[in-house]
A and B are shown apart, each in its own frame.
Chain A
């Protein structure tokens, strides 16, 4: 019965495919393996989500050892949703990667690129699927190390300094997380997440547990790019190869947010976080400041990839704002924004990757008149931009709707007003690109550019249509997100 082993296969398939790519040494073969494994992983994620929604959480014991002694993979509605996001993005990015990687990375490194990509996928999936606290650290480091390698493969020499800065900050974050897990182990004697949740209640008010909570939150905040710990993100996303930016922008911060949700709500408990620490107020303040600071910085960028990277920091702020309400509506908004942002930023960065493929640059001045020369690509950018702003009929509207609803439920009118105000800032930076692309003439001495090839357009438009579809029919996303929010707050489901 292969279906019983789906949780293990989810991790093993990319893990075995990575050294296979190194053994085979041929770039095209490595790409085919990456595409096949991404689609297999997406299929398994869909099966797991259906099983969880039908019959509740799944538990898989590695090595046959029973739960508190062995490592357990535990999948419930929160997990399964994030698994779907990560594997879905990988299923779309892997076919997209072929053309852009062929242009941006030297031929003899292609098999190494795909091997590192598969290891990054393994790490991200592993963080989400595991039910053991130390296993999270192991997979976190696997995904982080392979992301540093992937980012450093960018063409510009600034990719090297960006990867180095990300390495230093990411390792500090992961080590803080490790200290936190060590202190939790010292107080409870176990590493299994469900077991820790039970045993932490008895020792909650000790200083060790408070210190562990602080270390874990700060460490994960660094990986999450929560303001002011976001300094690595703009450079890393701007100078990485196009396919890498799409993949990391759509998955890495979501997985870190999922880990924070798991540790704050399941392990430590919502009442500990609300009553003993001031996490809710702290997160809300940092989120709002992050949204405004990042959006304002985005308006002044001339490198459009960098502009979208700052926009990503702002969107992470929205997700954390939703979480900081600690209510069902707020958490639903935060969790559904994970999915929506992956769709939005995936489509936007893919459009930019196609622009880079044809133009060789993503500088605003060189993009004049691109709306007429690359109509499909720029129209995809326009729809993605509308989603960022939060116009109705797009997924961005759904997330903002839930955030405002959560604020109004508590009677906090200023917060709702701030969410609307920040959307106006998004209008500013999206309009800059639309104005230059559609309302200016192309430069005279510019070579003629044609539309992007089909292998780039098809994945891009799949994500754009997903933007619109999930903005109109929200039954899947809101259904799963609401169930996930209720299970995190301990209200069943």
Chain B
């Protein structure tokens, strides 16, 4: 039972990852693909933060007045890694959407099958 309930973070990570991947692969609309990519990347953020949690740990911030007594805190390194990954995700989304706008201006549509048909013509 602990395999499912104790590790529910990781089950949600796998579910979101598969969901995002499915949307990228199965949907033909270009904007929907980018949304799927976002869900896919968000699942990875969840994985990293779940790894960083220490049971019974508090936030890794200096507490005033704690004196010299030791404090258990969660690992801050995965949070920093995820900040970088979030920025990368934002940049990728912005770039992808600007490409979709230009594709729309050039082809008149954002459905992948219609674009493939128009590409096969000459």
Could you list which residues of chain A lie within 8 angstroms of chain B, going by C-beta atoms? 134, 137-138, 141, 145, 148-149, 152, 157-158, 160-161, 163-164, 167-168, 171-172, 174-175, 178-179, 182, 185-186
Besides A145-B91, A148-B95, A172-B37, 18 other CB < 8 A contacts?
A: A134-B84, A138-B88, A145-B95, A149-B95, A152-B99, A160-B102, A160-B106, A161-B119, A167-B92, A168-B37, A171-B37, A171-B92, A175-B40, A175-B41, A178-B85, A179-B17, A182-B44, A182-B78
CB neighbours (8 Å) of B119 from chain A are 158, 161
B51 touches A185 (CB 8 A): yes
Is B44 within 8 A of A167, CB to CB? no
Residues of A near B34 (CB, < 8 A) are 168
CA A336 to CA B41, docked complex, whole Å: 36
Residues of B97-119 at the interface with A, using a CB-CB cut-off of 8 Å, are: 99-100, 102-103, 106-107, 115, 119
Number of interface residues, chain B, beta carbon within 8 A: 30
A161 with B44, Cβ < 8 A, contacts A134-B81, A152-B99, A172-B21 known? no
Closest to B100 in A: A164
Query: When chains A and B are docked, how far (Å) is the Cα of A174 from the Cα of B44?
Result: 11
A182 near B24 (CB under 8 angstroms)?
Answer: no
Q: What is the CB-to-nearest-CB distance from A167 to chain B, in angstroms, rounded to a whole number?
A: 5
Q: Are B103 and A160 in contact (CB under 8 A)?
A: yes
Q: Is the CB–CB distance between A182 and B47 below 8 Å?
A: yes
A residues in contact with B85, CB < 8 Å: 137, 178
Contact of B24 among A134, A141, A168, A185 (CB under 8 A): A168
CB distance from B99 to the nearest CB of A (A): 5
23 contacts between A and B (CB under 8 A): A134-B81, A134-B84, A138-B84, A138-B88, A141-B88, A141-B92, A145-B91, A145-B92, A152-B99, A157-B106, A158-B119, A160-B106, A161-B103, A164-B103, A167-B99, A168-B96, A171-B37, A172-B24, A174-B88, A178-B44, A179-B47, A182-B81, A186-B51
For B106, the closest partner residue in chain A by CB is A157
Shortest B28–chain A CB gap in Å is 12
The proximity string for B residues 21-60 relative to A, scoring 1 for CB distances below 8 Å and 0 otherwise, is 1001000001001100100110010011001000000000
Do A152 and B48 form a contact, CB below 8 Å, given A145-B92, A158-B119, A172-B40?
Answer: no
Give chain B residues whose Cβ lies under 8 Å from the Cβ of A157.
103, 106-107
Q: Report chain A residues within 8 Å CB of B115.
A: 161
A148, A149, A171, A185 interface centre (most CB from chain B within 10 Å): A171
Distance (Å) between the CB of B59 and the closest chain A CB? Answer: 20
Partner of B51, one of A138, A148, A172, A182: A182
Known: A161-B115, A185-B78. Contact between A175 and B102, CB under 8 A? Answer: no
Assess whether B99 is in contact with A163, with CB atoms less than 8 Å apart: yes
List residues of chain A with CB within 8 A of the CB of B91: 141, 145
